[in-house]
Structure formats: C-alpha cells, structure tokens
C-alpha cells in the first residue's frame, strides 16, 4: 500500500497580482482556490518599474474589502521574486488565473523561471469562467474612463474608488418612501457642496421616469413605453 503525505507546505497557496484594481475575475479565481487549499495568501505585487493608478495602500484596501468574506484568505504586499516570498512563508503552490492562450503561454514562462530557482514551488492553473473571461483591470479602467457601466466588473467599493480616482465623482443614493424627505436631503447635499466649492448634481430619477413615460419622443423611449405596456398593460 502506498501512502501520500500532504504537508502543510502543499496545503497553502499564493495568488499574486497587481490589484489595480481587483475585479470579479480575480475574486472568482481566489474563491475557487480558497476551496482547494487550507490557506490562500493574496499577494499585491510591488514592481518599481510599473506605474499604478492606485497606491499600494489603496490596492490592498480594495482587495481586503473585496475578499473579507473568505476566512482562509489573507491579503499581503510583497516585493521581489514571487517564488522567494512563497518559499519563505511556507507556501508550496502558486495559483494562476488564465483567460486566454496568451495568458497560458506567459504563465508557463513564469512557471519555468520559478522552477529554475529550485525551491520546489508548484503552479496551480485555474482557467477563467467563460462569463468572466473578458474582465480585466485594464478593461474596467477603460470603461470607467468613458463613464460606462462597471458594476458587473467590480464590487461596489471598488467601483466607488474608480469613480473617485478617475472621474472625481462620489455617487450618493438617496431613497425612502413617499414624504420621507428625499428631496430635502438632496437639497441639503447641494447646499453643503456649494458652501464648500464642490460641484454637486441632484439627479431626480422620478423626473427621469416621468420623462421617459411621457415627454420624450425619441424612438428608443417610444420602444420603452411599448415594452412597459406589453408587460403591464396600457
């Protein structure tokens, strides 16, 4: 009879990335790794030759908040060779997320480099789910630059960080029942902003809804009214 001894070294894994910013694609890979290993260390890389949009502290905070629901996942920052950090911290497996064939070839090269260091660190490849394969940090930043929708790409906290960093915006939602004082609160926000020299825009969704249902005559809004009538009746 043969016995396979799984050491703590092989029960711990590390996933490294720049996290500029973290996306749902990254989170999915980390979530799957957390089910396969006892402990997963998420390493935020520090590369002096690379320019980041977010500071190390900001990237770390976004990752920590996005991954807080995974009890066996720790977020750290590191500098230098990934295999050296993994070896020094008792990690035997490096997890890699792969979206494309080009990603696979690139990660294979990095694996060979790691192997050349003779530290016994293995690589665990996780292929991106098809519905997430188009998501990357660069894509998210490109969409935000054009004021597009990114809520399906990143968690809400990361979305807010991108809006603040790239667009200088803080979006605050005001909700409540009829007569709850939504308009008053919104007016107070505007007045506070004006006193501090901060530009504030109050967007009333009720008014937009009324315009779509009645005033606006463009083809798209006529189509929306037809769809509503089909779903709920005239």
Residue 32's domain comprises 8-146
Compute and round to an integer the Cα radius of gyration of the chain. Answer: 24
pLDDT of residue 6: 44
Task: Name the strands in the sheet holding 93-98, side by side, starting at the edge strand that comes first in the sequence.
Answer: 73-79, 39-46, 12-17, 93-98, 122-127
User: Of the residues 59, 96, 99, 159, which is catalytic?
Assistant: 99
Q: Is residue 99 annotated as a catalytic residue, yes or no?
A: yes
Note if 137 is an active site residue: yes
Tell whether 20 and 98 lie within a shared domain. yes
CA atoms within 13 A on the CB side of 78: 20
pLDDT at residue number 8: 52
| Tens-level pLDDT at each residue, the chain (234 residues) | 444 444 455 689 999 999 999 999 999 999 999 999 999 999 998 887 889 999 999 999 999 999 999 999 999 999 888 889 999 999 999 999 999 888 878 778 777 877 776 678 888 999 999 999 999 999 999 999 999 999 999 999 999 999 999 999 888 888 888 888 888 999 998 999 899 998 888 888 888 888 888 888 888 888 888 888 888 876
| pLDDT (0 to 100) of residue 113 | 75
Concatenated DSSP letters for 13-52?
Answer: EEEEE--TT--HHHHHHHHHHHHHSSEEEEEEEE-TTS--
The CATH number assigned to the domain holding 61 equals 3.40.50.620
Whole-model pTM: value is: 0.80
Asked if 119 contacts 84 with a C-beta cutoff of 8 angstroms, the reply is yes
Peptide bond into 200 cis (omega under 30): no
Among 35, 50, 118, 151, which one carries the catalytic annotation?
50
* Residues 31 and 120 placed together within one structural domain of the fold: yes
Token pair 């910013």 is at which residue? 21
Active site (annotated) includes residue 159: no
Same domain, 176 and 73: no
Tell me, yes or no, whether 56 and 113 share the same domain. Answer: yes
The pair phi, psi for residue 49, each rounded to 5°, is -85, 0
Q: Does 50 qualify as catalytic in the annotation?
A: yes
One domain, residues 114 and 71: yes
> Is position 153 within any domain?
no
The number of domains in the chain is 2
Are residues 17 and 68 both part of a single domain? yes
CA angle (97, 46, 53) in 5-degree steps = 85
83 shares its domain with 12:
yes
Catalytic residue among 18, 26, 34, 66: 26
What are 78's strand-pairing partners? 45
> Which one of 34, 96, 137, 159 is the catalytic residue?
137
């Amino acid at each position: 009879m043969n016995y396979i001894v799984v050491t703590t070294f092989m029960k711990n894994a590390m996933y490294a990335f720049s996290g500029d910013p973290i996306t749902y694609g990254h989170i999915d890979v980390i979530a799957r790794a957390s089910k396969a290993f006892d402990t997963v260390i998420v390493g935020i890389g520090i590369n002096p030759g690379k320019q980041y949009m977010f500071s190390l502290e900001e990237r770390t905070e976004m990752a920590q908040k996005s991954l807080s629901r995974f009890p066996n996942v720790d977020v750290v920052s590191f500098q230098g060779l990934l295999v050296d950090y993994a070896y020094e911290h008792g990690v035997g497996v490096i997890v890699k997320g792969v979206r494309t064939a080009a990603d696979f070839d690139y990660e294979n090269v990095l694996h060979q480099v790691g192997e050349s260091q003779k530290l016994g660190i293995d690589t665990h490849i996780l292929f991106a789910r098809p519905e997430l394969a188009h998501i990357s940090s660069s894509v998210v930043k490109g969409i935000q630059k054009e004021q597009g929708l990114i809520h399906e790409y990143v968690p809400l906290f990361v979305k807010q960080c991108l809006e603040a960093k790239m667009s200088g915006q803080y979006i605050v939602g005001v909700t409540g029942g009829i007569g709850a004082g939504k308009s008053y609160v919104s007016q107070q926000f505007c007045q506070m902003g004006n006193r501090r020299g901060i530009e504030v825009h109050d967007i009333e969704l009720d008014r937009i809804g009324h315009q779509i249902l009645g005033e606006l005559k463009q083809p798209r809004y006529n189509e929306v009214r037809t769809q509503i009538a089909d779903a709920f009746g005239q």
